[in-house]
Structure 1
Amino acid sequence: MGKPEAPGLYRHPTRSEIIEQAALEGHDADIPSNVGSLHQVPSHTIDAQLDPCHPSAPDPEKGVAESLSSNEAGIGNECEDDPNVVFWDGIDDPENPMNWSALKKWGTVSIVSLLTFLTPLASSMFAPGVPEVMKDFHSTSNMLSSFMVSVYVLGFAFGPSIIAPLSEMYGRLPLYHSCVAFFIVFTVAAAVSTNMTMFIVFRFLMGTFGGAPQVLGGGTIADLISREQRGTAMSVWMMGPTIGPCVGPIIGGFLTVAKGWRWNFWFVAIVTAASFLMALLLMKETSAPIILERKAHRLRTTTGNPKLRSKLASDLSTKDLFRFSIVRPMKMLFRSPICAAISVYIAISYTYLYILFTTFTSVYKTQYHWHGGIVGLSFLGIGIGSLLGQFVFTHFGNRIASRHLEAGTFVPEHRLPVMAAGAVMLPIGFFLYGWSVQYALHFMVPMVGSGFVGFSLLMIFMPGTTYLVDVFTVHAASAMAASTVSRSLCAALVPLSSEKMYAAMGYGWGNSLLGFVALLFTPIPFLFMKFGDRIRASGNVKL
């Protein structure tokens, strides 16, 4: 059992701290994390009158206070005074990942960040080699040429819904190791594929298991790094999903010319395998509920006391954990107007990214006669734009939110001015890119246009995701999961018709169509800025 805690050593976390931690870990705040939970367990699971440590949390989309008493946090004094509750052995307990050495902490963050860079890199790295793949597999289908790139993202729609609840039951480390191992296996399988069916299936499985570092990485950083230092670690980690898909084709363009398209997969497999070996040797479990549950199990074995239990133990059964993880996001996507509107807008923006990924090679070969490794440089504009978008959002988005938080006037809608700016710029980027390509203007002009698109997509995607967290609080992870599923499905399927669209309409009007659709959705952030509080007040999603 944990040693008696000296007064003042531990304070009960606020509601916002619990929600922030849970969102980073990829689960709802009614599941315990390092700082406890806001329990909202169904009546058939727990009798709230008999267990005062587990009160119900409020519904999402309702205005609620930002702090709770210790009892409301699910870690009240009744639980603390119970001698059968197992917790840390004081504030300096070496088992607590927060007490690890700086070298061990940042070494773990570095490995996780590297893995989170490599798996998105694989999503688009071989895009410049698509013509060679089509030639080897004797296919002329434009639909298949697009699908072999975007099918990777389809795996992102399925993998996280299984990986997240499994990590709550077995810890982050087994999921890291098993998913990365499977990712390497299927990457090698894609490299040695002998027909199109094999190749597409293995690409899908690569995406399914490759999503693990993105699902688990935020939670790992939250396990290790204090809130004061977390911003730096999160910025480094988030660059993987932002920069990886844009850097990949640049590397892949030259690698395809030098070694052939299969070496794009061998390269990813080799580098990921080296990272996997480092993870096996250096990474340890960081999830506090799992560490404490193992500690409680050891103590039950050594003391013979079967009543000992972890302070952060979840009362959810395996069945309920999976049910909430899979059913809740779908309920929110179809029953909440806020979740539906923002998720659809994010999905459209994300889809645009993969429309460009699947067509850049053919566009620049046709209009600018780029061949060989040079064609990979066509992705440079959107990559630089995405990177700038991340920096601008981080600076101005946090600045706006901080100002209102200090004044005590913050509402979730204060996340949206940055999103509104991105919404206005997105159609401009497509108009510039499309018509400059149509008339084969200097290649820098469409690069600037695609840079506007990349910048706008990040300005829409990042504040939109943050807005969902702020609105749905306790169930933020389910809202983000709903958004992930919708955007992954759209990004995998919609680009299949992009080549046909360009063939029928030309690059000018084809991209103008995308710009007009983006223009149609431009009012969304403005509408929520004006009416978001009313929509939240009237929302009532029973989860």
Structure 2
Amino acid sequence: MADSSSAPPTRGTASSSEDLFKMRPFTADIEKQAANDSDFDAAATIVGTDGESIRQGDDKFERSEDEQPQDPNIVTWDGPNDPENPENWTDKKKWTSIAVLSIMTVVTPLGSSMFAPGIPKILAEFHETSSTTATFLLSIYILGFAFGPLFVAPMSEMYGRSLLYHAGNILFAIFSVGAALANSIGMLMAFRFLMGLAGSVPITIGSGSIADIMPVEKRGRAMAAWALGPLLGPCIGPIAGGYLIAAAGWRWVYWLIVIVGGVVTIVALLTLKETFAPVILERKAARLRKETGNPDLRSALADNSITVAERFKIAAVRPMKLLLTTPIITLMSLYVAVTYGILYLLFTTFSFVFAQVYNFDEGASGTTFLPAGIGMLIGVVGFGAASDRLVGRRTAAGLAHRPEVRIPPMFTVPAGLALPVGLFIYGWTVQNAVHWIVPMLGVVIFSCGLMGVMMCVQNYLLDAYPHYAASVTAALAVLRSLAGALLPLGGLDMYDALGLGWGNSLLGFIALGLVPIPLLFYAYGERLRKRFNPSV
């Protein structure tokens, strides 16, 4: 084995001055030192304690020649244009990855509600009559979405993004087979929960992948495409599911998911590459250690101060710690959770409202989810593009980017008000048996507002806490999915007690009371971020 002290300089190590163009310190202490060092460019890209990239300004910084460490064993990027660095990927490669991620976030939520029109047949087959069982059969999948991120987020830090995507896709297909073959209501529930766990992978770390590769001025559109999946999937699923169940039975819903999931798995294996910088450099260091025989070569982003077990423990508790100790994340997550829970509560009413009030058959009942999808498409196209335009204008004017630009009143107020307006229209027109097109219009308005709220909140939190991107997304997913799973359990009793008119009005008043939250952070967000700066 070669003597490490006399090993020749290796491509990608710190012995080359240009190779340190994007070398990033890893620990929180170094991060603070770099932020305060007047010799550093203010537009520095550094790495937080969880290894997730922090992007500021143009994402680049340089040290003068005499300041650069001369340790020949540090492995970093091969200069500013290193093609291995995901930030330097071509636009085609970046958008291909985002397209695949977006498809994945549509497919995995399909399992949550695609079989909803067939719930009466499932209950009859397994001799169940409880309305609570029927609701829980739908919502237990979302519980998987709630608990999955607590494991997925820390694992992505240690093993990278791509490995988890591929493992999640394969497990999702396997668990879908189990659901298709279920011979009891308990077995079906168990596999639906496992499908939710596996399906939570792209929803949890997709935003981290986007932050790895996209500059801030293009991130809004990328986030829009990715964020649409968890909402659009449950909307388009029942449309196909209603007719499929009527023609071939509810089990074929899961066989179709297996087929689609299998195709997506193959496409992902061929196209999705690793984007997490610490993992890429660690693999590069391992390759160079093998090629050169120098055991002392190590990644510039490696943190050897803690063990893998300790790192996993810290990363595992980070989402809940952020959720409970950072007011911005707490209140914004609450806003998203309530609106998401209301959406799933509405979903539980569609099957019986349009069947009983408007005499829709089993196949047509699936189309009642279409207005929600239309509203979300309008919201994602409008709010995603407009958000990037605002950031682009500030950048073109030479102004520093502020995360609060993502939540201006001109976006958040109309989006927030659309929620109660849509609920009022839906509830009272159904209550009075007005033509079915009118309550569907209410659902379109509600869904458009929901997408506007989701886009503003997710982009804001990603910009405000970029070094905790995966953990913040996990915190959002946990609270959002818990609300989506649990709120419908008591929702039907609420409708029985209040009726559809006053029941949806109550939900509308709750949504109306949440509208000031983004306004609060638009005005005081910067001050609160400085006061409650997470150190987890």
SS at match of 2:357: helix
CA distance in structure 2 between the aligned counterparts of 1:388 and 1:143, rounded to whole angstroms: 34
Q: 1:330 maps to which residue? A: 320
- How many angstroms does 1:143 deviate by? 1.5
CA distance in structure 1 between the aligned counterparts of 2:348 and 2:116, rounded to whole angstroms: 7
Contact kept? 1:346, 1:460, Cα under 8 Å: yes
CA distance in structure 1 between the aligned counterparts of 2:490 and 2:45, rounded to whole angstroms: 54
Instruction: Determine which of 394, 399, 405 is the counterpart of 1:408.
Output: 399
How many aligned residue pairs are there? 505
- How many angstroms does 1:397 deviate by? 2.5
CA distance in structure 1 between the aligned counterparts of 2:275 and 2:401, rounded to whole angstroms: 32
Instruction: Determine which of 424, 440, 443 is the counterpart of 2:436.
Output: 443
Return the TM-score normalized by structure 1. Answer: 0.83
What does 1:82-97 correspond to in 2, within 5 Å? 82-90=71-79, 95-96=84-85
Which one-letter code corresponds to 1:415 in the other structure? Answer: R
- How many angstroms does 1:487 deviate by? 1.2
What does 1:3-402 correspond to in 2, within 5 Å? 3=12, 11-12=21-22, 36=24, 39-40=27-28, 55=32, 67-68=43-44, 81-90=70-79, 95-96=84-85, 108-221=97-210, 234-281=223-270, 283-315=272-304, 316-402=306-392
Instruction: Classify 1:76/1:413 alpha carbon distance in 2 versus 1 (closer, same or farther; 3 Å).
Output: same
- How many angstroms does 1:11 deviate by? 4.5
CA distance in structure 2 between the aligned counterparts of 1:185 and 1:535, rounded to whole angstroms: 45
CA distance in structure 2 between the aligned counterparts of 1:85 and 1:273, rounded to whole angstroms: 40
Q: 2:510 maps to which residue? A: 517
CA distance in structure 2 between the aligned counterparts of 1:428 and 1:495, rounded to whole angstroms: 20
- How many angstroms does 1:296 deviate by? 1.6
Return the TM-score normalized by structure 2. Answer: 0.84
Q: 2:11 maps to which residue? A: 2
Cα deviation 1:201-237 (Å, max 9, x = unaligned): 1111101111112334344455566778766655544
CA distance in structure 2 between the aligned counterparts of 1:491 and 1:173, rounded to whole angstroms: 27
SS at match of 1:376: helix
Instruction: Classify 1:518/1:98 alpha carbon distance in 2 versus 1 (closer, same or farther; 3 Å).
Output: closer
Instruction: Classify 1:538/1:301 alpha carbon distance in 2 versus 1 (closer, same or farther; 3 Å).
Output: closer
Contact kept? 2:412, 2:515, Cα under 8 Å: no
Instruction: Classify 1:477/1:408 alpha carbon distance in 2 versus 1 (closer, same or farther; 3 Å).
Output: same
Q: Give identity over the alignment, percent.
A: 44
Instruction: Determine which of 401, 407, 422 is the counterpart of 2:415.
Output: 422
Instruction: Classify 1:36/1:204 alpha carbon distance in 2 versus 1 (closer, same or farther; 3 Å).
Output: farther
Contact kept? 2:231, 2:376, Cα under 8 Å: yes
Cα deviation 1:296-352 (Å, max 9, x = unaligned): 223223433221111232445323332332322222222222222111111101101
Q: Which stretch shows the higher mean deviation, 99-108 or 257-266?
A: 99-108
- How many angstroms does 1:489 deviate by? 1.0
- For structure 2, the residue ranges without an aligned partner over 5 or more in a row are 1-9, 49-53, 55-60
Contact kept? 1:39, 1:56, Cα under 8 Å: no
CA distance in structure 1 between the aligned counterparts of 2:45 and 2:324, rounded to whole angstroms: 33
Cα deviation 1:424-474 (Å, max 9, x = unaligned): 121111010000011111111000101111011111122112222333344
CA distance in structure 2 between the aligned counterparts of 1:468 and 1:322, rounded to whole angstroms: 23
CA distance in structure 2 between the aligned counterparts of 1:327 and 1:430, rounded to whole angstroms: 36
Which one-letter code corresponds to 1:127 in the other structure? Answer: A
- For structure 1, the residue ranges without an aligned partner over 5 or more in a row are 13-34, 41-47, 60-64
Instruction: Determine which of 472, 493, 496 is the counterpart of 2:489.
Output: 496
Instruction: Classify 1:100/1:527 alpha carbon distance in 2 versus 1 (closer, same or farther; 3 Å).
Output: closer
SS at match of 1:211: helix
- How many angstroms does 1:58 deviate by? 7.9
SS at match of 1:492: helix
